[in-house]
């Protein structure tokens, strides 16, 4: 997968994450310099040794963090391949 294809997939996945009820923010993670690019997708898609890992950091409100985390994971898993790994981190919980 090329860098452009990876970014397109990441942007598509970010849209899916933002549509999950209870998600109020999606934050960039990863290397500092990657986060400085204003057009960089917030969802990270990484590939190594034939395996793909999707990483996302979210802020949640209006539902328990664990429930929102599971909903994000399930939404991403529904559109990814069965062997792809999904890592969801909750960085902010609104009271």
Number of H helices, E strands in the chain: 3, 4
Q: What is the pLDDT of residues 16-60, one digit of tens each?
A: 999 999 999 999 887 665 556 667 789 999 998 888 999 999 999
- Determine the structural domain holding residue 84 and report its residue range: 3-93
Number of domains, the chain = 1
* Mean pLDDT estimate for the chain: 89
CA 24-30-36 angle, to 5 degrees, is 80
pTM of the model: 0.87
CATH no. for residue 85?
Answer: 3.30.70.1350
């Amino acid at each position: 997968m090329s860098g452009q294809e990876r970014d397109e997939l990441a942007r598509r996945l970010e849209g899916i994450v933002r549509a999950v009820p209870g998600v109020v923010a999606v934050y960039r993670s990863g290397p500092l310099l990657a986060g400085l690019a204003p057009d960089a997708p917030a969802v990270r898609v990484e590939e190594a040794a034939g395996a793909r890992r999707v990483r996302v950091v979210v802020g949640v409100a209006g539902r328990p963090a664990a429930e929102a985390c599971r909903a994000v994971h399930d939404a991403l898993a529904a559109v990814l391949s069965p062997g792809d790994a999904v890592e969801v981190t909750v960085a902010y919980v609104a009271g």
